[in-house]
Structure 1
Amino acid sequence: MTGIDRIIAENRGGRHVGLPSWCTAHPETLAAILRCYRDDSAPILIEATCNQVNQHGGYTGMTPATFRDFVHAIARAQGIDPARIILGGDHLGPNPWKHLPAPEAMANAREMVAAYSGAGFTKIHLDASMACGGETLTEETMAARAADLAAVAEPHRPHYVIGTEVPVPGGEVAPLDALGITTPEAVTRTLALHRMAFADRGLPFDRILAIVVQPGVDFGNDRIYPFAPAAAATLCAAAPALNGPLYEAHSTDYQSAQSLAALVRGHFPILKVGPELTFAFRQAVFAMEALGRMLGLPSNVETTLRQTMHNDPSDWRAYVAADDREAAMMLYGLSDRVRYYWPRPHVQSAVTALYDRLRAATPEPGLVAQVTGGMVRSSDPATLPETIIDTMVGAVVRRYRQACED
């Protein structure tokens, strides 16, 4: 039994255990996450999305095999055995090609799933919930397409995640009045349709680990929709009777420690988090820039970011209202659209220059504590940037890991 299915089985059996799913391709953020695992041997689940990584490179420029090598190289650099890492593919389906006719979109999706499973990704989220080329899509067709994608991956025998009530990746674009919680009847129907589609293709249904449902959890650029256990009680109580799969929670970013622990108790053993991780990295960089100002060091990270984002608003415009709060929310919004701009050369140069100046400085512990929210301890100037990043990103990692421990 592998790490992930052991955790699922233990949760099904009544232990309040789970596994965070770290959804980021940002190298410094990944390195900080992995450093949090140096003192134990726990499995580490890292996932890439269909738009981020695919056979054509996605917006990161990485194929699944390239992403695997990228993650493993970071792990080795941080003293982590790559064998501990479980790689997952998120929202694998026709989404990147949904503007195309369904046959063409699904052909691309099958090629992508083959690339992911062939590269050693052992957790595959089958998501065929989006209409292609303006079609009208039924639940039966969603399940059939998910099974078609599983058939491509099956030679590599991965674990699957299914589900059609999937939150918007990266957070909601527009405010919602309320979130509809998935009903147990909808879960039963989704499982039945997928069971039938898998059986028609001779595929093993017992390797479906989880189903993505909506427990009433989400976030937008300026709001958080907190988990309300009482509202989701019926959904949670139905999980043991599913006779196999449990639940996977998407868009859990910014939920409190108590809410995350309640999700795990409610049979959501997989908690996915993405933008909050790079939000914490941005906090760390801005804290370093504030520290630099206190030391009289020049830095232009925020200025460069703003200019770069204004010159190319394509990755943030849809998430930020064009009003008097725009200047603040483009940088500080919870959807963290800033993450798309860190790789830009001018931004990278500004960040590297900031790191170099801080490494050459010797800030007093009290100054470091002031910008990090209380980190009063001596630190090696040579690794000060990493220490500050670890403080910010590590706080997110610890909250999730503690919620997943019985």
Structure 2
Amino acid sequence: ATRAARLAKAAEKAARAKDGALPLYIIGTEVPVPGGADHALSDLKPTEAAAARRTIEIHREIFAREGLGEAFGRVIALVVQPGVEFGSENVIAYKPEAPKALTALLDEQPSLVYEAHSTDYQSRAALTALVANGFPILKVGPGLTFALREALYGLDLIAAEMVPGYGERSLARAMERVMLAAPGHWRSHYHGGETSLYLQRHYSYSDRIRYYWSNPAASVAVGRLREVLTGVGIPETLMRQFLPTLPAGLGPASDPEAILLAAVDAVLADYEAACRGG
């Protein structure tokens, strides 16, 4: 809380110096391990209401002590754990009944809502329930890049089927070389034998591969994939085979960029629907 007040003081000073809009704040310390859990998960305990209440009280006290009472009035949310998380291999789905006491606490704090971390891979129904129960700020990250990787790998397989000379899984092979050459982003997160490590590098929910797309060799491989498929109509049957969650009609449009965007948009659509009440 002391650190939060120090950060808020700096933000207030900067905003006033620029004569700009004063910041809104989200407080709290209930954040997950960066990048998600590195093991299979079986259960998850939501933040206790008493702990959330105490967190709010301590922040209010320290903000006031630091002369930031007015700024605390612009705190809009508290970060908590509603009982959702993902590991490398599985996802803990939201159980609306689990954080009932936490939701009830908002009746005491009418100016606040909750921010929920690690909502990646939750169903539309689960996201809608989160919003309805007081968690309208939904943090998502790897869920989007995972969808992008799925679409890229689907196009990689399609190109291998359709484009002479493209090669077998050219993009996936390039990404394997890139990740093996620079293992810093995945080595401490993935565990097991060689087959398990290979599968996690490419298909883990943690999606550590997302840190490699800006690598020059990866950029070249992605660029080549998009180039060889631009202007090439993909039959609906291949779309159904390799990208079955996307509209088959996207294939004949001959625009791989549109397919990639549609894959990410499909995930975002669940969040938009949830925030609109389902």
Whichever residue aligns with residue 210 of structure 1, its letter is: A
Partners of 1:360 and 1:160 in 2: CA distance: 47
Partners of 1:318 and 1:236 in 2: CA distance: 35
Match of 2:107, SS? helix
The one of 221, 237, 243 equivalent to 1:372 is 243
| 2:41–2:92 CA contact under 8 A, matched in 1 | no
Pairing 1:153-302 to 2, within 5 Å after superposition? 153-155=11-13, 156=15, 157-203=22-68, 204=70, 205-297=72-164, 298-299=166-167, 300-302=170-172
Instruction: State the partner residue of 1:96.
Output: none
Alpha-carbon displacement from aligned partner over 1:103-158 (angstroms, at most 9, x marks no partner): xxxxxxxxxxxxxxxxxxxxxxxxxxxxxxxxxxxxxxxx1121111100013221
Alpha-carbon displacement from aligned partner over 1:293-346 (angstroms, at most 9, x marks no partner): 221441511101001111111101122113231111110000101111111111
Match of 1:319, SS? coil
Distance change in 2, residues 1:364/1:174 (3 Å): closer
Q: Cα distance, 1:232 vs. partner? A: 1.1
1:318 aligns with 2:188: yes
Partners of 2:234 and 2:206 in 1: CA distance: 32
1:363 aligns with 2:228: no
Instruction: State the partner residue of 2:19.
Output: none
TM-score normalised per structure 1: 0.62
Pairing 1:139-150 to 2, within 5 Å after superposition? 143-150=1-8
Q: Cα distance, 1:360 vs. partner? A: 4.1
Structure 2, unpaired ranges of 5+ = 16-21
Partners of 2:159 and 2:137 in 1: CA distance: 39
Match of 2:248, SS? coil
Point out the structure with the larger strand share.
Answer: 1
Whichever residue aligns with residue 153 of structure 1, its letter is: A
1:152 aligns with 2:10: yes
Structure 1, unpaired ranges of 5+ = 1-142
Alpha-carbon displacement from aligned partner over 1:157-190 (angstroms, at most 9, x marks no partner): 2111111111123211234453221111111111
| Structure with max Cα Rg | 2
Match of 1:273, SS? coil
Aligned length: 262
RMSD of aligned alpha carbons = 1.5
Instruction: State the partner residue of 2:268.
Output: 397
Distance change in 2, residues 1:165/1:288 (3 Å): same
Match of 1:254, SS? coil
Instruction: State the partner residue of 1:387.
Output: 258
| 1:179–1:217 CA contact under 8 A, matched in 2 | yes
| 1:261–1:403 CA contact under 8 A, matched in 2 | yes
Match of 2:108, SS? helix
Partners of 1:257 and 1:284 in 2: CA distance: 20
1:353 aligns with 2:252: no
TM-score normalised per structure 2: 0.90
The one of 199, 217, 229 equivalent to 1:328 is 199
Share of identical aligned residues, percent? 39
| 2:88–2:190 CA contact under 8 A, matched in 1 | yes
Partners of 1:402 and 1:171 in 2: CA distance: 24
Q: Cα distance, 1:389 vs. partner? A: 0.8
| 2:39–2:89 CA contact under 8 A, matched in 1 | no
Partners of 1:353 and 1:360 in 2: CA distance: 13
Whichever residue aligns with residue 108 of structure 2, its letter is: A
